[in-house]
Amino acid sequence: MQQIIDRRLAGKNKSIGNRERFLRRYKGQIKDAVRRAIDGRGIRDLERGEDVHIPKKDVSEPVFHHGSGGQREMVHPGNQEYIAGDKIARPKGGQGGGGSGSGQASDSGEGEDDFVFSLSKEEFMQVFFEDLALPHLIRTQLAETPEWKSHRAGFTNDGTPNNLHVVRSMRGALGRRIALGMDKRRALHALEEELEARQAEPAGTDRDAAIADLLSRIELLRGRISAIPFLDPIDLRFRSRVKVPVPTSKAVMFCVMDVSGSMDESRKELSKRFFILLYLFLTKHYEKIDIVFIRHHTQAQEVNEHDFFHATETGGTVVSSALVLMEEIIRARYPSDQWNIYGAQASDGDNWHHDSGRCRELLEQKILPLCRYFAYVQVAEPEQNLWEEYCRLAETAGPHFAMRKATAADQIYPIFRDLFKKEGAPA
Amino acid sequence: MTIKPLMKDLVDGPQPLPERPSEHLPGPSDWNFELVERYHTVIRDTATRFGLDTYPNQLEIITAEQMMDAYASVGMPVNYRHWSYGKEFISTEKNYKRGAMGLAYEIVINSNPCISYLMEENTMAMQALVIAHAAYGHNSFFKGNYLFRMWTDASSIIDYLVYAKDYVAKCEEKHGLETVELFLDSCHALMNQGVDRYRRPSKKTLAQELADQKERETYAQQQVNDLWRTLPRRAEKAEEQQEARRFPEEPQENLLYFVEKNAPLLEPWQREIVRIVRKIAQYFYPQRQSQVMNEGWATFWHHRILNTMYDDGYLTDGVMIEWLKSHTNVVYQPKVGDRGYSGLNPYALGFAMYSDIERICRRPTEEDRQWFPDLAGSPWLPALDHAMRNYKDESFIGQYLSPKLMRDLRLFAIVDDDKKSEIEVAAIHDESGYRRVREALSHQYDLGSREPNIQVWNVNLRGDRSLTLRHFQHNDRPLDDSAQQVLKHAARLWGFAVHLESANGKGDVTKRWTVPAPSH
């Protein structure tokens, strides 16, 4: 009997493997497309797919086929006007009415030069963060209050009842019982055989006495055998668990931004891009991430995300106020032995000139020792005294301090990649 | 149930309907399993009355996404992994999502049992059309046509593809994704030149295939080593003969087979992959040669079966109109010069030809009696059966294209010669042109003239081991410049330099391509 099979629930996406192979092959082009996409995109829709264009000649698979030329005879339907012997002007482009089998014509309307397809959101993000590593990924781990994780470590002879391993214990007990009872059972066996032999003999007092003796000895042995304990304390086995310290997986990210009058919307937008990139990046590496937003003009305050980006303030600029506040918050809430601390500062570089030196000192002595990484992005071109002081700092501070300049949206992503590139990977 | 009649024995036309149904089959637009089953039963019984002989049918309902998956892996339910299938999938998906193309209503696989995929989005009327078309039309063609009987083995193809998939996956694990991928690219480039046109492949089950594979690896490697033996056995005597010896002695048409057996540097696993690609190419070879016949046959039969069911009182008018609309679209043939004209529509041509054969048998004209003396007036079902079984597109058209059909389709032949400035109309649908048009159309479906004829010509055994291929030009038609790219792939397979000579009808080489040995 023929039957109908419902395949609809049986796996779709059979082509996923093939699709992955395709993406792997065209990684270079895809990376470029992602980079361009980041440049042109708003932050809110950063986590979205993207169309990728690949020149058609790059994805073609060559086979032998006829080129144009030579002599060809073709049959077409729908003759309206011709009779045998008519001459027709050759159509432009050399193709005499199609049908050559090598159709180059594009039916997509997207131009015949490109093979276009969409990356999904996940694929997009994967390409986006490829080759990026957290700088100095020695995760915080100190002896005093490390985080512990318990691991199995075989079996031990003592432990708490809840860790008792029954099968192991019973196996041990069985072995012990066999071992301890071995010679007794062998003796018992011999006695029983002797008893049987005696019982087969003709009756007599001699025999009865021997049987009685044998019986009592058998009785004694049986008693001994049954006295072997079924389970002895030495049989017990317990699962052993040991505690090993694990690196903490908590991170806090400080976003420090200048909101003085000189920071206009477009500069804030630039800063925001950088912060968002950093945030997305950290979410790839840490389970728990806190973000602290500190904005400042002449005074610093901790604010929520909305106020951070949208509230407008005016006034002068004292950058050090924000750094002082950052240090206070770290001391109060984010002990550096338990938290991985990342700092990102964005400013237009405009600072009260007596303050810049202080900023450098603060960073150098107080903040950098506590941080995994501190990045400074200047969203304006002029190099003022803050930039100069930070340059001095960069020379001495070592690899966990970095500074770059970004003046247009399309520079943010390259700078980000530059700062976080894996060692040895091209930016 | 009575014994199934064979079509060739039905000289008196189809068997009669045992009993008229008391009512129509319901014709809602939504299908359900019970209803599909009922339609299927009636379609099967009707097909049986016409003597259609098929493999057992396995109908499978799939979603549009699964249909796209099937598209991507050349219609097969399993296949090895390769980026090009991913590319295919991506472009299908894109076109479908943008509405630029509809998906086929069905895909049918030449296997035993014959698997037909029905899309869940089809309406009931469409499911009926698809079942008649695929499960009875195509299926009986697969079972009956000599090309398929000779070249493909329906019962083992799925097993073989499973084996191929696993083998390629294992190679990827062992030798790395990229290595295997590049190698497959090269095999695919020569795929069309990887078929035997005249030799019959052997039949093997999966178990045999697996057992043989190990043996083959060691044996093949030995053979190759023997050919490339660096120490001549009896050097002093053999020297002269060796100089004169050509290898291969005769030109060989199957490039992949030649590579598999003779390429000096291939690893055993690479030889096996060449073999897999070659086998799959061979499996698809008959389909490429019988498109008009196959689609025409399926279209003719869905048309005939559903019409008979209507006459018998099974189908409602609504169902009838719905499938007819779809049928009309399928057999639409735009005229040359129309927008959307892209050559002859194989469905239209094939459907018209089978219908025409029936007409010649049942209502022959004087002209038909002249042109087809054996066919005119003979029983139509045996005649159709014969036409389906024993031809491929080229010979089918050469044999059966009638003057009336040429007039109906208004066929005309043109000659495009690059030595002349204008295209000439060689013949049209008139008394003096019938034979020329028919011949031209027949040639048009000859794979030998559609695809370049490239053969293994010589191997430089004593020198740089380079391989020479030769292109035999057909009507002086040159090779496309993509040949250079393909040669690179050939060189990767061969391991040494590869030359390609293009020779015209007189045997003069008109163009050469050369690719140096790939760096090892």
CA distance A166 to A172: 10
Q: Which residue of B84, B178, B182, B336 is the best one to mutate when testing the A interface, meaning the one whose CB has the most A CBs within 10 A?
A: B336
For residue B506, the model assigns a pLDDT of 85
CA distance A254 to B390: 80
CA distance B34 to B45: 17
Q: Which residue of A1, A3, A4 is the best one to mutate when testing the B interface, meaning the one whose CB has the most B CBs within 10 A?
A: A4
Answer for the pair B291, B394: CB distance below 8 angstroms, yes or no. no
CA torsion A143-A146-A150-A156 (nearest 10°) is 20
**Which residues does chain B have within 8 Å of residue A63's beta carbon, measured at their own beta carbons?**
189, 191-192, 482, 486
- State how far the alpha carbon of A277 is from the alpha carbons of A46, A47, A72, A271, in Å: 9, 11, 60, 10
Domain boundaries, chain B: 23-145+290-324, 331-448, 451-515
CA distance B418 to B510: 16
CA distance A302 to B463: 81
For residue B200, the model assigns a pLDDT of 56
Q: Which residue of B4, B61, B339, B414 is the best one to mutate when testing the A interface, meaning the one whose CB has the most A CBs within 10 A?
A: B414
Chain B nearest-CA distance from A20, in A, is 7
**H or E stretch at B320:** helix B317-330
B34 vs A: CB within 8 A: no
For residue B303, the model assigns a pLDDT of 95
Question: In this structure, how many other beta carbons lie within 10 angstroms of the beta carbon of residue A304?
Answer: 10
User: Of B428, B432, B441, which is closest to A82 when you measure between CB atoms?
Assistant: B428
Chain A nearest-CA residue for B337: A97
B100–A78 C-beta distance less than 8 A: no
**Which residues does chain B have within 8 Å of residue A79's beta carbon, measured at their own beta carbons?**
336, 410-412, 428-429
Chain A nearest-CA distance from B113, in A, is 10
Residue B151, helix vs strand vs coil: helix
Q: In sequence order, which residues have a C-beta less than 8 Å from that of residue A32 and are 6 or more positions away? A: none
**Which residues does chain B have within 8 Å of residue A69's beta carbon, measured at their own beta carbons?**
418, 476-478
Question: In this structure, how many other beta carbons lie within 10 angstroms of the beta carbon of residue A142?
Answer: 12
CA distance A335 to A328: 11
User: Of B334, B423, B450, which is closest to A96 when you measure between CB atoms?
Assistant: B423
Q: Which residue of B480, B484, B493 is the best one to mutate when testing the A interface, meaning the one whose CB has the most A CBs within 10 A?
A: B480
Identify how many contiguous H helices and E strands chain A contains and give both numbers: 12, 13
Chain A nearest-CA distance from B25, in A, is 18
A22–B477 C-beta distance less than 8 A: no
**Which residues does chain B have within 8 Å of residue A82's beta carbon, measured at their own beta carbons?**
412, 425, 428
Half-sphere exposure of A105 (CA within 13 A, CB side): 12
Which regions of chain A are under pLDDT 70? 1-2, 11-13, 38-49, 92-113, 128-148, 245-249, 283-285, 287, 311-314, 421-427
B81–A21 C-beta distance less than 8 A: yes
**Which residues does chain A have within 8 Å of residue B429's beta carbon, measured at their own beta carbons?**
79
Q: In sequence order, which residues have a C-beta less than 8 Å from that of residue A326 and are 6 or more positions away? A: A254, A256, A292, A294, A343, A367
DSSP assignments along A115-163, one per residue: EEEEE-HHHHHHHHHTTB--TT------SSS-EEEEEEEEEES---GGG
Answer for the pair A61, B185: CB distance below 8 angstroms, yes or no. yes
Chain B nearest-CA distance from A277, in A, is 29
CA A330 to mean position of chain CA atoms: 26
For residue B73, the model assigns a pLDDT of 73
CA torsion A126-A128-A130-A132 (nearest 10°) is -130
Answer for the pair A111, A56: CB distance below 8 angstroms, yes or no. no
- State how far the alpha carbon of A332 is from the alpha carbons of A18, A329, A343, B44, in Å: 53, 5, 16, 82
Answer for the pair B111, B157: CB distance below 8 angstroms, yes or no. yes
Answer for the pair A238, A155: CB distance below 8 angstroms, yes or no. yes
Instruction: Please name the residues between 151 and 210 in chain B that touch chain A, using a CB distance below 8 Å.
Output: 177, 181, 185, 188-189, 191-193
A71–B87 C-beta distance less than 8 A: no
ipTM of the complex: 0.81
CB pairs under 8 A between A and B: 255
DSSP assignments along A260-284, one per residue: STT--HHHHHHHHHHHHHHHHHHHH
Question: pLDDT tens for residues B423-482?
Answer: 889 999 999 999 999 999 999 998 877 888 899 998 888 888 889 999 988 888 888 888
For residue B204, the model assigns a pLDDT of 60
Token couple for B443 = 């040639």
**Which residues does chain B have within 8 Å of residue A66's beta carbon, measured at their own beta carbons?**
451-452, 477-480
CA distance A395 to B256: 63
CA distance B149 to B140: 11
Chain A nearest-CA distance from B235, in A, is 40
DSSP state of B197: S
Token couple for A8 = 């609809």
**Which residues does chain A have within 8 Å of residue B483's beta carbon, measured at their own beta carbons?**
64
Q: Closest Cα partner for B353 from B393, B324, B389?
A: B393
Q: In sequence order, which residues have a C-beta less than 8 Å from that of residue B267 and are 6 or more positions away? A: none
DSSP assignments along B116-147, one per residue: EEEETTS-HHHHHHHIIIIIIIIHHHHHH-HH
For residue A359, the model assigns a pLDDT of 86
B414–A14 C-beta distance less than 8 A: no
- State how far the alpha carbon of A188 is from the alpha carbons of A199, A209, A222, B201, in Å: 16, 18, 8, 76
Q: Which residue of B35, B83, B98, B253 is the best one to mutate when testing the A interface, meaning the one whose CB has the most A CBs within 10 A?
A: B83
Instruction: Please name the residues between 309 and 338 in chain B that touch chain A, using a CB distance below 8 Å.
Output: 333-338
Chain B nearest-CA distance from A105, in A, is 11
Which regions of chain B are under pLDDT 50? 1, 235-242
